[in-house]
Amino acid sequence: MDPKTATRYSKFLSQHLRHQPEAIGLTLQAGGWVAVADLLAACAAHGYPLTRDELDDLVEDSDKQRFAYDEAGQRLRAQQGHSVAVNLELVPATPPAVLYHGTAPAALPAIRATGLQKMSRHHVHLTADEATARRVGQRRGRPVLLAVNAAAWHAAGGVFYRSGNGVWLTEAVPPQYLEGLDA
């Protein structure tokens, strides 16, 4: 599959595994899982025909590792970023001392006032890698890098999870745990 087509299919999968599974006739199971056979049939029925091999390539080649198979390889899910009600069955984890969040300058006044909020998603997404956070922030123009004092927030009661692709998740980050607002 050429890169442009792979991106189009990856966006389709993200949309329907994270936000609108019902739009293509899917129901997410516990943990956010969907049977691969059901997913392939739904994709084909909605103009995105995929073979299992092509799906395997999309999952394996995804730069952000957005999707994961279960241990048996019979079910697939989006790793995080859901706006639909789903329990991903994540286990609390101790975060590194500092995590990062990339955003756009327009978001800074709200972030300074209320901290990082999950908005329509289940969690705030953070990374241990500055470069990744900058790339995320660049989606809407000039990026702003926020450093999160994750150790202090965790010690104060903040709960963190680490998804299968290494993204750190938390419900919110109060403004007092944000440092280095570079704007």
Structural domains present in the chain: 3-78 (1.10.10.970), 98-179 (3.20.170.30)
Q: What is the pLDDT of residue 83?
A: 82
Average pLDDT of the chain, as a whole number: 91
User: Once rounded to an integer, what is the mean pLDDT over residues 136-156?
Assistant: 91
Q: Which residues make Cβ contacts (< 8 Å) with residue 117, sequence separation at least 6?
A: 110, 124, 172
Q: What is the pLDDT of residue 181?
A: 54
SS3 102: strand
Alpha helices in the chain (DSSP H): 3-14, 36-45, 52-61, 108-114, 130-137, 150-155
pLDDT reading at 173 higher than 50 = yes
Tell me the per-residue pLDDT of 21-66, one tens digit each, with 9 for 90 and over: 999 999 999 889 999 999 999 999 999 999 999 999 999 987 778 8
End-to-end CA distance of the chain: 40
Q: What is the pLDDT of residue 183?
A: 45
Cα(77)–Cα(2) distance, integer angstroms = 23
Cα(67)–Cα(102) distance, integer angstroms = 21
Beta bridge partners of residue 77, listed in sequence order? 68
Tell me the per-residue pLDDT of 5-25, one tens digit each, with 9 for 90 and over: 999 999 999 999 999 999 999
Query: Residue holding tokens 């909020």?
Result: 117
Q: What is the pLDDT of residue 119?
A: 86
